[in-house]
Structure 1
């Protein structure tokens, strides 16, 4: 089961003895900072967790799977995530 924004808010609320509204403000602020940073093309590095990067994808040829016709896919930016070695080790039971 994936963790949701509401789960994060509840976790902050329960673990840090804050009001629920304060927890919501903290999570919303954190997510807004990450979004604005990525929108500006900068990376977000969180030590011990990982790195969110914005990558440019070039225009490329593609195919419509429904009609099998060739088409051009426009250039675009995508967000990628690379986990840190610390997180990778914990996920693999080595930490």
Structure 2
């Protein structure tokens, strides 16, 4: 499912127009992004949690040349699925 299909599904399920569903989805994504940028986590009960993890500086290798290089420390977004989501994905049938 891509973003356009998701917007159409939200519109159908909520009787919102596609424009309103698109605005709602954009607002959700923007607010989650802003919270993560501030270093906060976002918990959606029964769905999962978005958080930020810190990655330490490490050495790596360029696969094309074999040259050793340093990968700088950085922060990365992380998603942990909730119990209900895991159960639904793993449901038989």
TM-score, structure 2 as length reference: 0.92
Residue 41 (structure 1) aligns with: 39
How far apart are 1:64 and its partner, in Å? 0.8
Q: CA RMSD in A?
A: 1.2
**Structure 2 CA distance for aligned equivalents of residues 18 and 68 of structure 1:** 54
How far apart are 1:55 and its partner, in Å? 0.4
Residue 19 (structure 2) aligns with: 21
Residue 79 (structure 1) aligns with: 77
TM-score, structure 1 as length reference: 0.90
How far apart are 1:76 and its partner, in Å? 0.7
Runs of 4+ more than 3 Å apart: none
**Structure 2 CA distance for aligned equivalents of residues 88 and 35 of structure 1:** 23
Alignment size in residue pairs: 92
Residue 59 (structure 1) aligns with: 57
**Structure 1 CA distance for aligned equivalents of residues 2 and 42 of structure 2:** 20
